[in-house]
Amino acid sequence: MLIDALNSATLRNPFETLGLQQDADGKWRMRAWMPGAKSVKVLPLKGGNEICTLSCITPEGLFESEIDVKEPFHYKFKVEYPDATIDVIDPYQFRDEAFYGLSTMYEKPENIYKTLGAQLIEVEIDGVKVRGTKFAVYAPSATCVSVIGDFNFWDGRRHPMARSLMGHWVLFVPGIEQGNRYKFEIKDPNGNRLPHKADPVGFYHEQYPSFASIVCDQKNYQWNDSKWIKSQLNDKLRRPMSIYEVHLASWKRKQDGSSLSYRELADELVAYVKNMGYTHIELLPVMEHPFSGSWGYQPTGLFAPTSRFGSIDDFKFFVDTCHQNEIGVILDWVPAHFPTDAHGLARFDGTPLYEYEDPRRGWHPDWNSLIYDFGRDTVRNFLIASALIWLDYYHIDGLRVDAVASMLYWDYSRKEGEWVPNVNGGNINYEAVSFLKWFNEEVYRNYPHAMTIAEESTAFTGVSRPTFSGGLGFGFKWNMGWMHDSLEYMKEDPLFRKYHHGEMSFSMIYAYNENFVLSISHDEVTHGKHSLLYKMPGDEWQQCANLRAFLAYQYAHPGKKLNFMGTEIAQSSEWNHDSQLEWWLLQYDKHQGVNRLIKDLNTLYKSERVMWENDYDPKSFAWLDVNDAEHSVFAMLRTLHDKSGNIEDEFVAVSNFIPVPYIAYRLGVPRPGTYKVVVNTDDKQYWGSGFVTGPEKMVSSNISWHGQYHSIVLDLPPLATVFIKRIGD
């Protein structure tokens, strides 16, 4: 019976049941479902006299009467409750508005976030503007779905939604404005009620305990970054990129221990990053996530900036402020897996709608999370849309894709028998490969100012090569091998580094296989791995000297640069996501020195084209000295050539990784002239020993050395990296 379906929230076809309906005999009947109401009157939408008072058919709240009209009309109800009388515009007269856009849903991925979720719309009916929210959610196996919220007392009986042929449940509810909280009440294929679900395409969500989605307007914010966006229409491979990786909650905190808001970060973080000379900020995931301890890598709201730090407009203000200060913003994006929280995507409609059903494919043992089904078109479209919205609505400059290796291999972190081979019996997930290629094509096709970066830890071929040549299509790839090998080398006692010399230089064997970013990320300074400073051997001075020499070596090495926050102040402790950086350390000369060095390195790096313009051109790099294991010395030459192939500029870096100076070190240079040390990490201003390298200006001699026709001589400081530049003939 109808009343049973209404009362148990199992009505599947509300547009054929509620509102103005025509009987088989051609007569019109008005039916309203108003639990708890005393009376319901029908009035014209535009205003005028009462048309009729509906009869109460059942005590549960079903009102119904025959109406003497010849055709459908638009109306509103005047509903009397025991404690109030309110006007209600019946949502069940807006069938076309509810279903609008679904037919073109999958023509373009961005149609998902422009159609599904909670869309604020305004329709004009009989000269009356009706504002409200169109709710739409994909749950094809559900037996029924209702939208619930503060506006209906979280009562799943009051607003049953209608199902489309494609499995979307829709309803336009007049009067629902920005700020209203909502969720979906879903019944599984057996009619059992699931835990209330947050909106998968929601733009904003509350924190624990409700995790409710919130209606918000994406059109409010007025951007002021058009100049920046235009300036980014260039070849990122040939631009400087020094990235400051940040976890917003723990960068800096207020005196009461709470995190800074987006707007406070726009003031303090942006000013700091600009002063330090970084070109980009990379944010650990800001997509909504229930557990702060996941750092954002277990997201449940891929379309929503976390409400921990403010509103969506506050987040846009942060990005806008970055752009106005010529700082790009990169976001970590997690399409590899998602958590099992009851309000999230897990078995969303009672079935594995987003995840692989077989746990040998759909369960991630490392993170106790579910893996997206990359072979399902609806999931692929959903994920692509969740990437594009950040470039579209939030003006993000790049997406760094987390855990790519776990997506590419069926046997990632799995033992024999715990995974299912592909159709050819191998371990490559062809569905994930196809998805990642499509993702990169969509980003670069629609947002040519943006870039994509892969965190991929294996030797998978062509990660940062175009899809038309067989690659995955990423713009860049984190160089995890360089990070591992170089840190392993630096951990060694300098006395034994000569036995590990190849670890430091091995990266150049494969340096041009991909467009690498040299990353020293958050993963290297947590979970018992020690801070970067305390990875270094020796006493207090030697630890800091090692750190300074290593950081300068990173800047000299081909590839873009990334360092996690705290590196630039020589943080002593491991990163703690529940605290803040140890800013108090800057009262000490040691930490001030490292901070000053990073600022100087960034300034020099951005000003010298030779250090970044040809990062991925093998002709622009040469080892001058890579075989001196006995002294643990590395010398590299970076060159910039003109169109005729002649050297236009050069830059030399020499690293001495033992605590003993190297006197009268002869260094080959490509051209005769006068040279000058422009950075010495052993300088006193960096808390170094102040060891003098020689005369301020060094004039080359015609003595061939290191494969070059000319050479200069200097003294190498202990545990230091020295940058040398030609300043004239």
Q: Both ends of the chain: CA-CA distance in Å? A: 96
CATH numeric code, 95-215: 2.60.40.10
Give the model confidence (pLDDT) of 525-558 as tens digits: 999 999 999 999 999 999 999 999 999 999 999 9
Report pLDDT for 669.
96
CB–CB of 204/262 below 8 Å? no
Report pLDDT for 295.
97
CB–CB of 29/64 below 8 Å? yes
CB–CB of 528/208 below 8 Å? no
* Mean pLDDT score across all residues of the chain: 96
- Assign domain 239-610 to its CATH architecture: Alpha-Beta Barrel (3.20)
Cα distance between residue 442 and residue 219, in whole Å: 23
Structure tokens at 694: 């020689």
**Backbone torsion region of residue 136, taken as left when φ is above 0, otherwise alpha when ψ lies between -120 and 50, otherwise beta:** beta
Beta strands in 273-321 (DSSP E): 280-283, 287-288, 301-305
Give the model confidence (pLDDT) of 235-252 as tens digits: 999 999 999 999 999 999
CA 236 to chain centre: 19
CA 384 to chain centre: 13
CA distances from 357 to 347, 351, 353, 386, 421 (A): 9, 8, 9, 22, 15
Structure tokens at 628: 């001196």
Work out whether strand 516-520 and strand 287-288 pair parallel, antiparallel, or are unpaired.
Answer: unpaired
Report pLDDT for 38.
95
pLDDT at residue 613 greater than cutoff 80 = yes
Q: Name the pLDDT band for 24 (thresholds 50, 70, 90).
A: confident
Backbone torsions φ then ψ of 449, nearest 5 degrees: -80, -15
Q: Name the pLDDT band for 320 (thresholds 50, 70, 90).
A: very high
Cα distance between residue 458 and residue 451, in whole Å: 21
Among residues 402, 442, 608, 650, the one annotated as catalytic is: 402
- Residue type present at position 700: S
Is 402 assigned a catalytic role?
yes
Cα distance between residue 448 and residue 261, in whole Å: 30
Give the model confidence (pLDDT) of 394-448 as tens digits: 999 999 999 999 999 999 999 999 999 999 999 999 999 999 999 999 999 999 9
- Residue type present at position 414: R
Report pLDDT for 48.
80
Is 455 assigned a catalytic role?
yes
From 150, 147, 203, 206, select the one nearest 180 (Cα to Cα).
150
- Greater pLDDT, 554 or 729: 554
Written as one string, the DSSP assignment of 32-84 is: EE-TT-SEEEEEETT--S--EEEEEEETTTEEEEEE--SS---EEEEEEETTE
Among residues 185, 245, 349, 455, the one annotated as catalytic is: 455
- Residue type present at position 599: K
Would you tell me which CATH number, out of the four given (2.60.40.1180, 1.10.260.40, 1.10.10.60, 2.60.40.10), belongs to the domain 617-728? 2.60.40.1180
Q: Any alpha helices (H) in 148-247, and if so which ranges?
A: 226-231
Structure tokens at 411: 């046997």
Cα distance between residue 81 and residue 85, in whole Å: 6
Report pLDDT for 68.
87
**Model confidence, pTM:** 0.96
CB–CB of 667/635 below 8 Å? yes
Cα distance between residue 514 and residue 558, in whole Å: 12
pLDDT at residue 355 greater than cutoff 90 = yes
pLDDT at residue 25 greater than cutoff 90 = no
CB neighbours of residue 261 within 10 Å = 19
Q: Where are the domains of the chain?
A: 19-89, 95-215, 239-610, 617-728
All residues at 6 or more sequence positions from 308 whose CB lies less than 8 Å from its CB, including other chains:
207, 249, 259, 292
Give yes or no on whether 95-215 and 617-728 have one common fold. Answer: yes
Burial per residue of 641-658, b for 16 or more beta-carbon CB atoms within 10 angstroms, e otherwise: beeeeeeebbbbbbbbbb
pLDDT at residue 1 greater than cutoff 80 = no
pLDDT at residue 723 greater than cutoff 80 = yes
